[in-house]
Amino acid sequence: MAEWMSTGIPAGDYWGMDVRRAMAFQRNRRYLYDRATEAVGNLWNLHWPHKSPKTARNVRVSPLHSRLAQAGANFGEVAGWERVQWFGEPGTKRVTHATFGKDDWFRHSGAEHAATRSDVTLFDQTSFAHMLVQGRDALALLQRLSTNDIEVPVGRIVYTPLLNQRGGMESDVTICRTSDEEFLVVTAAAQRIRDLAWLKNHAKGAGQATIADVSSGYVTLSVMGPQSRELLSLVSPADFSDTAFPFATAREIEIRYGIALAFRMTFVGELGWELHIPAEQALGIYDAIVAKGYDLSLRQAGYVALNTLRLEAGYRDWGSDLSDEDTPLESGLGFTVAWDKNRISSVVPL
């Protein structure tokens, strides 16, 4: 810690002591009292799989929370977010599974996993963080910070690590170019403050580039599986064919009475789209997808299945598989390094 304070650069992976791991609301005094009391009491307790705190809950909930609860959601907590771990039978009591064995969660999440591979599933990923990078020098800033090439046409999506001075992955993000001078950066819930601070700190000397946290304005629904194209075609007039909507592209699409920014991306290894929806339009779009998905055996799924699916597909997860000590080459992510890209010389060095 002393070295970090004196040089400004941590000597290794100190995420457990990094102030950027905490969200702003977590300095609320009532939150701190309740959670700290529980944490001390849990020090010597068994840490069961998928265990979440009991105190200071329902701090951050998706606008779809009540719909998900009615559908049988069992919730866990990450960065204050109530996120679906798996779905039980609608109307059944939500329980905490205190066992290392294959309890109900194993059976339910296994069925969600299988449905994603064979049919179509719907994930609520509203906990995603969204940062808007804008300005004349926005491209130059992101081009400097990213290993991948961000100088792409409007509507293209780029997956890229962000590297620190040691070549380690400070984070990995998805960047969508939404206009000539505007980019939407999407990252995980737990990395929201970390990535926001990283972008803002480096934007200080990068000319005309502004960073805005717009996370609260979006609900993210992911429609995944072999029948995802068929389901989306039932709720939207957009063309979801490979020709009109290739992989790693984004389009604004109409769904019911709303508009969504659709990313053709996947974290599960199947055909699928992430729908980034204005929060106030989320309920209507969710209801439309669920209603039309009935005949296609649509199943709603949670983060346990999402994790097993991405493991099976070989996708990395920062914080689980990757840290700021790992380089893209060490992690099998060499394909994200554009060795010959145009670095845009107007950007100041890190």
Q: Return the number of other C-beta atoms located less than 10 Å from residue 2's C-beta.
A: 7
Model confidence at 314, pLDDT cuts 50, 70, 90, reads very high
Residue 4 has pLDDT above 90, yes or no: no
**What is the domain class of 61-91+103-339 according to CATH?**
alpha beta
Residue 345 has pLDDT above 50, yes or no: no
The rounded distance, in Å, linking the Cα atoms of 331 and 315 is: 10
Residue 97: predicted pLDDT: 67
Reported as a single tens digit per residue, the pLDDT across 264-277 is: 999 999 999 999 99
Reported as a single tens digit per residue, the pLDDT across 209-235 is: 999 999 999 999 999 999 999 999 999
Reported as a single tens digit per residue, the pLDDT across 61-85 is: 999 999 999 999 999 999 999 999 9
Reported as a single tens digit per residue, the pLDDT across 20-52 is: 888 889 999 999 999 999 999 888 888 888 889
The rounded distance, in Å, linking the Cα atoms of 60 and 18 is: 22
Model confidence at 14, pLDDT cuts 50, 70, 90, reads confident
pTM of the model: 0.93
Domain ranges of the chain: 61-91+103-339
User: Considering the chain, what percentage of its residues have pLDDT values greater than 70?
Assistant: 96
User: Which value, to the nearest 10 degrees, does the dihedral of the CA atoms of residues 229, 231, 232, 237 take?
Assistant: 100
Residue 55: predicted pLDDT: 95
Reported as a single tens digit per residue, the pLDDT across 317-344 is: 998 999 999 999 999 999 999 999 875 5
The rounded distance, in Å, linking the Cα atoms of 174 and 157 is: 7
- What CA–CA distances, in Å, run from 199 to 146, 151, 210, 277? 11, 17, 9, 23
Place of tokens 């060095």: 349
**Structure-block tokens of residue 344:** 């845009």
Residue 94: predicted pLDDT: 66
Residue 348: predicted pLDDT: 39
Reported as a single tens digit per residue, the pLDDT across 90-149 is: 877 666 667 788 888 899 999 999 999 999 999 999 999 999 999 999 999 999 999 999
DSSP assignments along 205-252, one per residue: TSSS-EEEE-GGGEEEEEEESTTHHHHHHHH--S--STTTS-TTBEEE
